[in-house]
Amino acid sequence: MEQLSMVIGLLVAHLLGDFYFQPTRWVESRNTKHLQSPALYLHALLHGVLALITLFAVSVFTTKEAGMADIDIAALLMVAGGVLISHFVIDAIKSYAGSTTLAFAVDQAAHIGVIVILWAMLTNQVGALFKQLLLVNHQHLALLLAYLIILKPTSIFIKQLLSPWSKELDEHAKPKTTSPLVQLPIQNTLAMAGQRIGYLERLLILTFVLLNQFAAIGFLLAAKSIFRFGDLTKSEDKKLTEYVLLGTLTSVVITLAVGLTARWFVGKI
């Protein structure tokens, strides 16, 4: 329990340092001044201090005698130093990458990965950690394949399938007095938002299928229908209704098929 408490405590400290104790001005300063920003150094120092406090507190509360003699202060300082240095390096690199979703995801994954590795070194769990990584088998790969299929490949397939309706709707909705060049950025943004909604919808449906929670899928589709009901009933052009229904049903059918196939494969082998 002490080992798990340490890694959970380090992750809590990371979340506090990155999202609760970090002022917005620090982020802005780091993204504009990069290595010349004092905020970058203060932020890394904050994470090092939080990690040290967390490790010391967990060690005290989980040690039977709760005595200083049972706590390896040097090891705790090394781990906290590792958190400090790694956070500085990762955030310095991210400051040049810009504020994108991909940069944010890679940044957080790198921080969490370093924390897990440092924890494994502190608790002598490096061998066990590698053993867990080696336990990846065909079932895990099948699930990974299922999730990959229902994201971008399915999105491209649905886009191609609906392309005849998309062109009709775009022509119908195009303003008569406004240049198309003015509408293009907005249309692109809305298309990207619709794609992200489709991703989330299929991720949830596939997860519900794998968990055998088909009732939750019905709830999800009902909730989506309620949100779209006003748009569809107020639209004089029923092509929009057909477009939305066809896209939704295609997305659901593909995700259900992929999910059921993955469940069959995992359960069969």
Kindly report the pTM of this predicted structure: 0.75
Smallest CA-to-CA distance from 153 within 71, 261, 251 is with 251
Rounded to whole angstroms, the Cα distance separating 133 from 156 reads: 32
Are 143 and 130 within one domain?
Answer: no
- Say if residue 231 is in the same domain as residue 142: yes
Judge if 130 and 143 occupy the same domain.
no
Instruction: Identify whether residues 108 and 183 lie together within a single domain.
Output: no
Longest dimension (CA), the chain: 80
Shared-domain flag, residues 142 and 263: yes
Same domain (yes/no): 144, 263: yes
**Structural domain ending residue among the three candidates 134, 165, 197:** 134
At residue 170, the pLDDT reads 63
Separation between Cα atoms, residue 144 and residue 170, nearest integer Å: 35
Residue 53 pLDDT: 95
pLDDT at 182: 46
Place of tokens 């620090």: 26
| Residue 150 to residue 148: CA distance in whole angstroms | 6
Domain count across the chain: 2
Tokens of 260: 């059921």
Phi, psi of 59 (to 5 degrees): -60, -40
pLDDT at residue 65, rounded to an integer: 47
Are 209 and 255 contacting, i.e. CB atoms less than 8 angstroms apart? yes
Q: Are residues 163 and 54 in the same domain?
A: no
Separation CA 72–CA 59 (nearest Å): 9
Pair 118, 167 in one domain = no
Domain extent, residue 153, equals: 138-268
The candidate with the shortest Cα–Cα distance to 49, out of 81, 3, 89, is 81
Q: What is the pLDDT of residue 163?
A: 80
Q: Are residues 231 and 149 in the same domain?
A: yes
By CB atoms closer than 10 A (0-12, 13-18, 19+), residue 222 is exposed
Residues 233 and 142 both lie in one domain: yes
Tokens of 117: 């590795």
Whether residues 130 and 6 fall in one domain: yes
Q: How many Cα neighbours within 13 Å face the side chain of 39?
A: 19
Cβ–Cβ under 8 Å, residues 121 and 113 = no
CB under 8 Å to 250, separation ≥6 — which residues? 157, 158, 161, 162
Q: Which residues of the chain have pLDDT under 70?
A: 1-2, 63-70, 167-191, 227-241, 268-269
Pairwise CA distance, residues 121 & 6, whole Å = 12
pLDDT of res. 18: 95
Domain-ending residue, one of 102, 134, 166: 134
For residue 119, the number of C-alpha atoms closer than 13 Å in the C-beta half-sphere is 23
Q: Kindly report the length of the chain.
A: 269
Only one residue has tokens 């150094």, namely: 41
